[in-house]
Amino acid sequence: MGEADSQQVVLELAELRNLIESHDHAYYVLDDPVVPDAEYDRLMRRLQDLEDAHPQFITADSPTQRVGVAPTGELADVRHGAPMLSLSNALSESELLDFDRRVRERLESGGLEIGEIEYVAEPKLDGAAVNLRYEQGRLVLAATRGDGQTGEDITHNARTIPAVPLRLRGEQWPEALEVRGEVFMPRAGFDEYNRRALETGGKTLVNPRNAAAGSLRQLDPKLTAQRPLDVFFYGVGEIQGGPPIVTHGDTLEWLRELGFKTCPQWQVVTGIGECLNYHERTGEKRNELPYEIDGVVYKVNSLQDQAILGTVSRAPRWAIAHKFPAQEELTVVRTVEFQVGRTGALTPLARLEPVFVGGVTVSNATLHNMDELARKDVRVGDTVIVRRAGDVIPEVVKVLHERRPEETRPVSLPESCPECGSEVVRPEGEAIARCVGGLVCTAQLREGIRHFASRLAMDIEGLGIQRVEQLIEAGMVKSPADLFDLRAEQLTELERMGPKSADNLISAIDRSKTTTFGRFLYALGIRGVGEATAAMLAAHFGSVDELVDADDERLQEVDDVGPVVAAQIRAFFREQHNRRIVERLLACGIDWPQPRDSAAGRKPLTGKTYVLTGKFEGMTRQQAKERLVESGAKVTGSVSKATDAVIAGERPGSKVTRAEKIGVPVLDEVSLRNLLRGSGES
Ligand code: IVH
């Protein structure tokens, strides 16, 4: 190849690398992609081809070189240019007030009153700290925190994280720069990773924090590259050169200009009142953030003041972590019991030594099902990690095997139902064991009626679990149909039920009679028929008679219904007892208005485009998508100006941020239901 040709190749390589880098930056750091994936893939392929043809021009910072070779032996120790400090903790408001008072006293020396302190407040990310070293704008070293002075060389792994720049952006690079940040695994990536691991029989990750730390310390960067890691940068270590900077807030902005991803939640706050306010607001959002945090950090904003305050025993006097209540704690398992649900499913439940976790005292935690119980091998007497995050049911995450007492036995499935003594069966290959007692089993009756009355089913106000238990115990209710025979005089015989409450309950039961076919079907509690499937069945069949007579083939015409659910629907209606209950329910006046126009195939959402994000309560995202499509809408994966709305469930992703940025409306699950019912505005 001639010199001119070589030059041409080198130029094209440089151009491709710059282009890909800026697309990576837009995608991973700014969360605002500028080109479609197909275009990006084309550029990457072209770069790869050129490098394959001219390997002599491959550079270490080329985007193709993120996954390199594994170090031999073990991770090497490396000394940080400047020590990596840790943070003192404030666990209560008064500890925080003490911190602020100490800061003011130290800065006031000389008798000068200084008033309220300006802090930067940031989330305290729950992952693993890293130190990245750049020389002449290139990433040369990445290390774990270690003991603060010396960490381990994890350069090969840090390079695989797409949000870690291999080269700095912008200008005015310092000669040498250490950037500090927290590597974490976003919740969605963690859940998805574990789902896949369970499916393929691989090892699951315990929690996102351990997952991040463990991923960084792998020897083989190919393994790390498969872990969905992300990073936020929050500070600097050693700097040689660089622009003059006077506040911590400016540092964060400068880091962003250099191409580093910073946490968008940071904010300048003045005085301790605003700090507390920030802590409270962040605490409320904690479980909706796409990543885990365990508190907030306040840092004195002025770098000059930081220097005056200095550090004491490896922690700066100018910063403090204000923690949230821990979401994981250690406790001991007293017994393992089995709870019987509406469909007879037995759920193993650990009864625990009460422990304060996630802001409440927890004494029970779910073990989900027999497979989970076997996988975690939880035994009576074990010390376990329990986790309670937000409103989710507390769960046993892991057993500390080294603390297991002697002579324990694995927990086995009871042969008979703990509630009614009927046989318990667990079909081959299924994780779920069931009591065969049906409505003979008080537990199934209780849960069945509770489900029947629940919000998304018949929506009978005031009929909670305690009332249901009372009614069953008093022998007044033996099936859902009995609810409609209740009289107010009868109800006043029950404890804590005055004439007014009795009247209210009777009116609520009466009101529930006007419903929709979908709700009614859902309320029946047919296995496999969730709220979304019930709505589709209702739309498809239009009447109970049509549905009862439908064979497998007709049932499977409904999108959501496969052979298993079809068999369950048929089995339900074959049962005489169920048929009688349905007849009685209809005879007592349960009714629904016929949907307008459904026969004419009206599709109310024709022409609309939606994007779905987050987790919905009553249906999966897939079901939501299918139902929107059924109503004529288009559902796409990315938000653009052409999107009519983003519909966000719990823990939505970055799509909401993007929607807000470009002015696309964001709807919640209630609005989604309205849309699907055809009464929505959007
Ligand atoms: S600043 C100057 N900011 O918490 C003090 N740390 O105990 C250096 N962390 O090792 C830390 N989020 O892993 C700082 N916004 C944040 C942080 C944060 C998480 C971690 C970090 C550090 C530990 C301090």
DSSP lists the bridge partners of residue 133 as 141, 178
- CA-CA distance, 343 to 513, in Å (whole number)? 24
| Nearest of 142, 126, 145 to residue 84 by alpha carbon | 145
Q: How far is the CA of 446 from the centre of ligand 1 (A)?
A: 49
Q: How far is the CA of 385 from the centre of ligand 1 (A)?
A: 24
pLDDT tens digit sequence for 496-517: 999 999 999 999 999 999 998 9
- Cα 183 to Cα 84, 218, 554: the distances in Å are 15, 14, 52
Mutate to test the pocket of ligand 1, among 124, 180, 275 (most ligand atoms within 8 A of CB): 124
Q: Whose CA is nearest to atom 14 of ligand 1?
A: 234
Q: How far is the CA of 277 from the centre of ligand 1 (A)?
A: 20
More confident residue, 204 or 448: 448
Atom from ligand 1 closest to the CA of residue 123:
15
- Cα 91 to Cα 44, 297, 301, 305: the distances in Å are 48, 12, 22, 24
Atom from ligand 1 closest to the CA of residue 126:
19
Task: Name the burial class of residue 517, with classes exposed (0-12), middle (13-18) and buried (19+) by CB atoms within 10 angstroms of its CB.
Answer: buried
Q: Are strands 645-648 and 609-613 parallel, antiparallel or unpaired?
A: parallel
- Determine the average pLDDT of the residues in 39-53: 96
List, as own/partner pairs, every contact residues 466-470 make where C-beta atoms lie below 8 angstroms and the sequence separation is at least 24, other chains included. Answer: 467/505, 470/494, 470/495, 470/497
Q: Is 9 helix (H, G, I), strand (E, B) or coil?
A: helix
- CA-CA distance, 452 to 250, in Å (whole number)? 57
Residue 599 has pLDDT above 50, yes or no: no
Q: How far is the CA of 86 from the centre of ligand 1 (A)?
A: 6
678, two tokens: 């055809």
644, two tokens: 């009519």
Beta strands in 579-648 (DSSP E): 609-613, 634-636, 645-648
Residue 207 has pLDDT above 60, yes or no: yes
Per-residue pLDDT, 598: 46
Is residue 124 part of the annotated active site? The answer reads yes
Q: Whose CA is nearest to atom 12 of ligand 1?
A: 124
Q: How far is the CA of 398 from the centre of ligand 1 (A)?
A: 26
- CA-CA distance, 446 to 506, in Å (whole number)? 19
More confident residue, 627 or 220: 220
| H helix runs in 454-542, sequence order | 465-473, 488-491, 499-511, 517-523, 531-541
- CA-CA distance, 418 to 423, in Å (whole number)? 10
Percent of the chain scoring above 90 in pLDDT: 73
Residue 606 has pLDDT above 70, yes or no: yes
| Nearest of 540, 582, 579 to residue 561 by alpha carbon | 540
The 10 Å Cβ neighbour count of residue 393 is: 12
- Cα 538 to Cα 534, 564, 585: the distances in Å are 6, 18, 17
Mutate to test the pocket of ligand 1, among 84, 180, 182, 294 (most ligand atoms within 8 A of CB): 182
- Determine the average pLDDT of the residues in 73-99: 94
pLDDT tens digit sequence for 362-419: 999 999 999 889 989 999 999 999 999 777 789 999 999 999 999 999 999 999 999 9
Mutate to test the pocket of ligand 1, among 87, 252, 255, 299 (most ligand atoms within 8 A of CB): 87
Pocket of ligand 1 (CB under 6 A): 85-87, 122, 124-125, 129, 145, 182, 234-235, 297, 316, 319
pLDDT tens digit sequence for 240-281: 998 999 999 999 999 999 999 999 999 999 999 999 999 999
- CA-CA distance, 206 to 393, in Å (whole number)? 17
